[in-house]
C-alpha cells in the first residue's frame, strides 16, 4: 500500500493536512473572503465547501469561483440531513455533484456510505478524474471494534480514494477503540472521534494513517473540532 498520494501539486500522507470547513460564511461574501484571506495567510491548502449550508443554491458557481481565486484545494460536500447535514434530499444532489466536479479547484468530493447515490457519485468522479471520499458518521456513539472494522470494510469495498469514518466519543476508551481499529489498516484514510473526548484524535490520528484533520474559522461545523490557529500550532509542534 502506498504511503503517499499526489493530488494536484501536493503530496498527501507525508504530514497531516488541515482542512478548513466553510459552512455559514458561504452566505456572507465579505465574511467568506475575510476567512479565506486568513486561511491563505496560514498556508493552509484545503477547504471543505459544505454546500448544504448554502441558502441560495443558484450561487454555487459564484461561490466556487470566489474560493478558487484564493488557489485553495476544495473538497465538495453536500451533507444530507440523515448524516448530520442540512440538505433535505439524497438523490437530488446528483446535479450539484456534477457542478462541483466541473470546477477545476474541486479536487475531491465527499459522499456518504449510506447514500442511495453513492455508486453513481463515485462513477461521476472517476469520469472527471477527481478523487472521492466515502464517509460514515455517527454523532451519538462509537461502536465496538469489530463493528468499526465492518463499516470501514464496507467503505473500502467501494474503492474510494479515502475512506472516512467519524464517531462520537463518550469516553477516552471510545477514542482508543477507534485508534485500535484503524491501526490494523495501512491505507491512507480519514478518521476522527467527535466531541470533547475526541479532540485529541484531531491531532494524533495521523500516526495511524489519517491524512486530513478538519477545523474551522469562527464557528465549529462538528462537535470537538479545534479552531484553526490552535490546531495549526499543535501540528507544527508535533509533526
**CB proximity list for 219: less than 8 A, separation 6 or greater:** 23, 24
Whole-angstrom distance, CA of residue 4 vs CA of residue 162 = 12
Cell triple for 225 = 473540532
Given the residues 164, 168, 179, 189, the one annotated as active site: 164
Task: Dig out the grid coordinates for 19 from the structure.
Answer: 482542512
Is 129 a known active-site residue? no
H-helix segments, the chain:
29-41, 60-68, 94-102, 118-127, 145-156, 172-182, 201-204, 228-238
Q: Known catalytic residue: 164?
A: yes
Q: Which helix (H) or strand (E) holds 50?
A: strand 46-50
Q: Given the residues 137, 149, 179, 199, select the one marked as catalytic.
A: 137
Catalytic residues: 137, 164
Amino acid at each position: 500500500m502506498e504511503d503517499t498520494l499526489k493530488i494536484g501539486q501536493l503530496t498527501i500522507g507525508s504530514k497531516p493536512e488541515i482542512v478548513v470547513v466553510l459552512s455559514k460564511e458561504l452566505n456572507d461574501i465579505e465574511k467568506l473572503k475575510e476567512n479565506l484571506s486568513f486561511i491563505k495567510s496560514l498556508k493552509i491548502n484545503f477547504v471543505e465547501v459544505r454546500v448544504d449550508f448554502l441558502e441560495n443554491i443558484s450561487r454555487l458557481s459564484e461561490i466556487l469561483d470566489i474560493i478558487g481565486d484564493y488557489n485553495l484545494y476544495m473538497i465538495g460536500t453536500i451533507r444530507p440531513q440523515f448524516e448530520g447535514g442540512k440538505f433535505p434530499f439524497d438523490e437530488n444532489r446528483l446535479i450539484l455533484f456534477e457542478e462541483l466536479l466541473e470546477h477545476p479547484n474541486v479536487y475531491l468530493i465527499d459522499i456518504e456510505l449510506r447514500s442511495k447515490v453513492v455508486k453513481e457519485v463515485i462513477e461521476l468522479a472517476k469520469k472527471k478524474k477527481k478523487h472521492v471520499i466515502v464517509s460514515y458518521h455517527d454523532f451519538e456513539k462509537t461502536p465496538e471494534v469489530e463493528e468499526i472494522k465492518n463499516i470501514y470494510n464496507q467503505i473500502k469495498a467501494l474503492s474510494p480514494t479515502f475512506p472516512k469514518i467519524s464517531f462520537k466519543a463518550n469516553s477516552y476508551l471510545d477514542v482508543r477503540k477507534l485508534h485500535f481499529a484503524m491501526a490494523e489498516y495501512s491505507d491512507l484514510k480519514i478518521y476522527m472521534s467527535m466531541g470533547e473526548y475526541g479532540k485529541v484524535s484531531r491531532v494524533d490520528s495521523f500516526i495511524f494513517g489519517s491524512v486530513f484533520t478538519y477545523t474551522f474559522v469562527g464557528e465549529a461545523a462538528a462537535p470537538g473540532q479545534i479552531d484553526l490557529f490552535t490546531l495549526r500550532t499543535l501540528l507544527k509542534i508535533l509533526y
